[in-house]
Amino acid sequence: MKKAPIVFHYGCMASEKSLALIQDYRKAVSVGERCLCYVPANNSDPKNIVSRFMAGEGSSSLEEIAIAATPVKNSAELWHEVEAHMTRAYDRASEMGIVIARFRLNVIIDEVQLFDEGIKKVVDDLAYNGVRVVCAGLDLDFRGEPFPLRGESHVTVPDIMAISTEKHQHYAKCACPLEDGAPCGNDATRSQRFDDVEHQIPSPYEADTIIVEKGHYIPVCEEHHRVPGKHKVLLVTHNISNPS
């Protein structure tokens, strides 16, 4: 079976990555292709989906573009879900005497950064088996560093991007207020996190990578990204001699 492409949509928060997935979904079903959509489930409450994929991030009419997605706890469960679907499809085709020459299946995954590191191999294996995979996720964490996946092998989201056939970067608008009170408005590539919902205290470098509380993040450009404790400060002393 011919290897299928891996498509990755990446960018900071509020960059409408989820809308890109929904557009891909619509295009696929318009030509009769099957789509399986998955989002990560909150491990402490599997019914609490940590994703806005079903709502369509950034839309003013959320209900009109909502699509169903299955919450899964980890990458292994996602693999088993797809495997079970393909097995049922082949069994039905066999019963009907149909030979499947090309499996027109798309697996769409949102919030990839919230999965475990096994998601990289799952994505690669699905593509190897002829399944087109479309992913979306944050490429960088709040520190502005490659987003780490859960596990011991130090796999990051950019590692998945590296094996992707197509990579599409999405931008938000920088929400950092300037002196006149209006937001900056430049292309945002970072997700700025704060310890407070008033957005006055930037989270320090040593803070946990993931918090799911609402109101602690805003999209910002690189110029307005602040992470206390991340960078060393280079002090340059200028000695000015007395010309007299």
List the catalytic residues: 111
Task: Find out whether 171 and 187 touch, Cβ atoms under 8 Å.
Answer: yes
Query: Among positive and negative, which fits the CA dihedral 14, 20, 25, 30?
Result: positive
Q: Which residue has the tokens 């209006």?
A: 182
- Phi and psi at residue 225, to the nearest 5°: -80, 125
Report how far residue 40's alpha carbon sits from residue 79's, in angstroms, rounded to the nearest whole number. Answer: 13
Report how far residue 130's alpha carbon sits from residue 194's, in angstroms, rounded to the nearest whole number. Answer: 42
Query: Among positive and negative, which fits the CA dihedral 2, 22, 119, 6?
Result: positive
